[in-house]
Structure 1
Amino acid sequence: MQRANLVISALMVLAATYGILRAIRTGRGLAIGVLTGAYGVCLALSALFLPDPSGGFPPGESSGAATTGGILHLAFGAIGFACLAAAAFAYARWASVRGERAQALLGLCGGIVVLVGFVAGAALARSPIGVALLWASVLAGLLWLALACAHLYTVVPHPVLAQRAPHPDPA
C-alpha cells in the first residue's frame, strides 16, 4: 500500500512540476519547478525500496539490522523533503519579489513546517509523535504545493491569445 501511495503521489507531484515549469520558466520560478520535480523523483525512488521494519511495524515483524533498501528509502525521503522545503522557500522569495505577501507567507510557513516536521519526525520516528510529525510534514508540503499551484494557475496567461488579459511577467 505504501508503494502505491508513493507512486501515485510522485505522479501527481510531477504533474504539478510540469505546470510550475510552464508557468514560470526563469529565475526562482525555475528553481521552484526543478526542486518540486526532484521531490517527485525522490518519492518515486522511495517507492522502489521498502523501509525496514521498526518498532513492531509491520505487525509481526521485529526490528533488525538496517538493509540497503531501507537506507535508500530513508535517504530518498530525506532528500525529497529537503527539496520540497527548498521549493517552498524559493516560492516564498518569488512571491515576495512580486509583492504578494500572503503567498510569500504561505511559502515560508510551508517550508518551515515541512523542514521542522521532517527533522523532528525523523528524530522521533520510533514514537507515535514522530510518526505524527512526519505525517504533518507530508500534509503541509502537499497543501503548500496545491495552494501554490492554484495561485500559479492565476498567473498563467489564457491559452487563447484573444482572451489573454495583460499580466505582469511572473519571473
Structure 2
Amino acid sequence: MTEVIAVRPVDEVRTVRALLAGGVVAGPLWVALALAQGLARQGFDFRRHPVSVLSNGDLGWLQIGNFVLAGLLCVGAAWALRRVPHLGLGPVGGPWLLGQYGVGLVLSGIFVADPLDGFPAGTPRGAGAVSWHGLGHFGAGAVAFAALIAACLLAARRLARRGERGWAAYSGATGVFFAAAWLAMIGSGGRPATMLLFGLAVVAGWAWLSATLLRARREAFG
C-alpha cells in the first residue's frame, strides 16, 4: 500500500490525507456541537427529544449545519478510502456504505425534523403532526443508520477472516449495539431509557468510524 501511495501525485496524497483526517474529526465535532446545544437550549431534554429536533427554532441552523458538515466530511472520507482501502472496509463496499452514511446525514440536515413534545418553546406536548420534511428526515436517518450498521458488520466479517479478532469484535459489537438501540427506541415509542440508550449508540458509532478512519490513515501514511 505504501508503494502505491509513493507514486501518486503529491497533491493527491495531500488531498487523501486531509479527507481522511476530516472523516476522523467528523464524529467528535458532531457529538460536541449536538451535546453543547442540547445542554444550552431551553426546553431540550435528551430523555425526551432526539438531537434532530435541535434543527428547529432560532438556533436551528446550528444543527442543520452540523448534519451537513458531518455528512460532507464522511463523503470526502469515503472518496479517500477508494484510494487507500481499509483492510476491513475494503476498496468498494466500505467506501460506498460510508458515502451513503454521509449522504444520509446531509439529507437529515436538509429535511428538518418536526418540532416535538414541547421543543422548541411553544410546541405542544406530545408527538405532534408529521410534515413532508419530517418524513424526509426519517427516511434520511434510516438510510444513514442502515449504512453505518452495515459498514460495521462488513468490517467485522472481513477483519475476522484476516484473524484480527479484536478489531472484528469491536466492529461487530458496535454494529449490533447500534441496531439494537435503534430498534429499541422505535419499538418503545421514544421512552426515556431507550432515548438515552440510542444516544450512547450514536456516540459509539461515531467513535468506531473515527477509529477506523484513523487506522486507515496511519496504515497508508504512517
Q: What TM-score results when the alignment is normalised by the length of structure 1? A: 0.82
Answer whether contact 1:122 1:134 (CA < 8 A) is retained: no
Over residues 121-166 of structure 1, what are the superposed CA-to-partner deviations in whole Å (9 max), with x where a residue is unaligned? Answer: 23345433333233222111111101111222243266xxxxxxxx
Within a 5 Å distance, the mapping from 1:49-88 to structure 2 comes to: 49-62=111-124, 63-88=127-152
Answer whether contact 1:113 1:137 (CA < 8 A) is retained: yes
Partner amino acid for 1:99?
Answer: G
What RMSD over aligned residues (CA atoms) do the two structures have, in Å? 2.2
Answer whether contact 2:101 2:145 (CA < 8 A) is retained: yes
**What CA distance in whole angstroms lies between the structure 2 residues aligned with 1:72 and 1:7?**
15
Answer whether contact 2:105 2:141 (CA < 8 A) is retained: yes
**What CA distance in whole angstroms lies between the structure 2 residues aligned with 1:125 and 1:140?**
22
**What CA distance in whole angstroms lies between the structure 2 residues aligned with 1:25 and 1:106?**
15
**What CA distance in whole angstroms lies between the structure 2 residues aligned with 1:53 and 1:125?**
16
Corresponding residue of 1:39: 101
1:41 to 1:131, Cα distance in 2 relative to 1, 3 A? same
Partner amino acid for 1:10?
Answer: G
1:139 to 1:57, Cα distance in 2 relative to 1, 3 A? same
Over residues 33-53 of structure 1, what are the superposed CA-to-partner deviations in whole Å (9 max), with x where a residue is unaligned? Answer: 101110000000111111112
**What CA distance in whole angstroms lies between the structure 2 residues aligned with 1:148 and 1:28?**
9
| Structure 1 runs not aligned, ≥5 long | 159-171
Larger RCO: 1 or 2 (CA < 8 Å, sep 6+): 2
2:202 is equivalent to residue 141 of structure 1: no
Answer whether contact 1:125 1:131 (CA < 8 A) is retained: no
Answer whether contact 1:19 1:149 (CA < 8 A) is retained: no
Corresponding residue of 1:3: 64
**What CA distance in whole angstroms lies between the structure 2 residues aligned with 1:35 and 1:52?**
27
Corresponding residue of 2:180: 116
How many residues are treated as equivalent by the alignment? 158
Q: What TM-score results when the alignment is normalised by the length of structure 2? A: 0.64
Q: Identify which of 81, 88, 111 aligns with 1:20.
A: 81
Answer whether contact 1:13 1:36 (CA < 8 A) is retained: yes
**What CA distance in whole angstroms lies between the structure 2 residues aligned with 1:156 and 1:78?**
32
Answer whether contact 2:87 2:159 (CA < 8 A) is retained: no
**What CA distance in whole angstroms lies between the structure 1 residues aligned with 2:87 and 2:164?**
18
Percent same amino acid among aligned pairs?
Answer: 32
